[in-house]
Amino acid sequence: MMAVIAAATCELKGKTTQELPLVVMLGPAPARASKSYRIRLIPSPVNAVFPPQGTAYRENPESHRIWRTIHAFGPSLVVDPVGLPGLAKSLQGQVSLASALPGSAPKLSPLARTQAAQLARSPHEMAEQLGRTYGHVLTDVTYIQALSCIGRLRLGAVKEVEELAAPYVDGRRDSLGKPDSTLLAGHLLFAALYERTGNRAYLERVIAAANLGFAADGAPQSSMPYHNEMSDSVFMGCPILGQAARLTGEARYATMAVRHLRFMQGLCRRQDGLYRHSPLCDAAWGRGNAFPALGMALLLEALPAPHPHVLESFRSLLRALRPYQDADGLWHQVIDRPDSYAEFSSTAMIAAATIKGIRGGWIERGVYEPVVQQAWVAIQRRTAADGTVLDVCESTGKQKSMESYLNRAAIWDKDPRGGAMAMLLATEMMQIPRRG
């Protein structure tokens, strides 16, 4: 486990504790330290080697954990009493190393300055940075590419996004050509475009996706198709039905959305309020809970009035998730397994859903606003100016064991899924209502 030794409310020489330089200490807690800097403790196995080799965190997990924590928090100094092989050379030019704690505050390192710049960004500035990398392709109408395009719409790039969407509304390509649940959620892009342009060709695409919930005679299906028994489908199926209900005024779409939610809850909701990813395994996978949270938030946002079952289900899930947010503001790869790695995309999605809940008045602002703020700082720390994101779980179908979920690779790179979710959160942060 890692910890920060600091009194968050004290002031030293005109600076709050959180403004003091950070020192990462590899090893046990020191008996005494200067009050002119903060310390973050990281247990240091003697067999860690740098730079880390293999897939994080499946191979050499402690080496990856140390390496990524250093980069996520941007210390001004790393104290390594053991002299871990390769660490000093690997960090050269980014942050200095020492064998013992200094007597005074270290100078800001290049890594610390980078972190400070990331934390200083406004939501709009971070969204603009992400928009330079993401939201420029629509090879298929999958939710990943569609969310990035919606992010760019929120930044005003309507003409550019319309050009990407054009083949799917002028007959050149079929937006539902590949039978996949990710395409259903991807059609949220057409709802966003219709809202901004009034072009009915976009509305027709929304209706085409929503109509998959009904048989040829108009009777509702037991659920939306392509769900594969995965909790992801709360997000894949419910919001597009909600948008169809909102844009057409036809109540049958809202009824079908609630029907689909109940169906998926029967498969995946656990007694404790969290969601298993699928009936194959009881693991509460991170995105497997973030998808229901975001899916219900989007559905509630679309309905003219909150449906009682959807509203209580949303509140129940957020109540279940809240205790599992860690001290750094993150949810983990397996929600109720703190020994699993802290995961980027689920944190961004849960935080975005929570903002929608605050804005809609469905949850207590005083309780959940600190949850959002902690998550936002965590995502800022892990989102570089060039769109690189830290610790996004790789694409994950339903797994048969807890061990399989614990061993999913953690991506540190430019990643379309992670970038889309970071962009979603940033643009939601732009819309947080002011107090007073």
**Amino acid residing at 273:** G
Is 12's pLDDT higher than 60? Answer: no
Task: Tell me what percent of the residues of the chain surpass a pLDDT of 90.
Answer: 90
Alpha helix (H) ranges present in 155-307?
A: 158-169, 181-186, 188-197, 200-210, 233-248, 251-268, 286-302
Enumerate the β-bridge partners of residue 262: none
**Nearest of 349, 345, 367, 348 to residue 358 by alpha carbon:** 367
Q: What is the per-residue pLDDT across 347-398, written as a single tens digit (0 to 9) for each?
A: 999 999 999 999 999 999 999 999 999 999 999 999 999 999 999 999 999 9
The pairing of strands 11-12 and 77-79 is unpaired
Cα distances (angstroms) measured from residue 218 to each of 112, 177, 206, 212, 213: 59, 21, 17, 10, 9
Residue 422: both structure tokens together: 């970071």
Is 5's pLDDT higher than 60? Answer: no
| Cβ–Cβ under 8 Å, residues 126 and 383 | yes
pLDDT at 142: 96
Question: 17 pLDDT band (50/70/90 cuts)?
Answer: low
Alpha carbons 316 and 16: distance in angstroms, whole number = 36
312-334 mean pLDDT: 98
Structural domains of the chain, ranges and CATH numbers in brackets? 3-117 (no CATH), 123-429 (1.50.10.10)
Is 433's pLDDT higher than 70? Answer: no
- How far is the first Cα of the chain from the last one, in angstroms, to the nearest whole number? 39
Contact residues for 331 (Cβ-Cβ < 8 A; gap 6+): 286, 289, 290, 321, 324, 325, 342, 343, 346, 347, 350
Is 7's pLDDT higher than 60? Answer: no
**What does the mean pLDDT of the chain come to?**
94
Task: Tell me what percent of the residues of the chain surpass a pLDDT of 70.
Answer: 95
pLDDT at 32: 80
Residue 8: both structure tokens together: 């968050």
Q: Which of 44-48, 212-216, 355-359, 423-427 has the lowest mean pLDDT?
A: 44-48
**Maximum Cα interatomic distance, the chain, rounded to a whole number of Å:** 78
pLDDT at 10: 31
Q: What is the per-residue pLDDT across 193-214, written as a single tens digit (0 to 9) for each?
A: 999 999 999 999 999 999 999 9
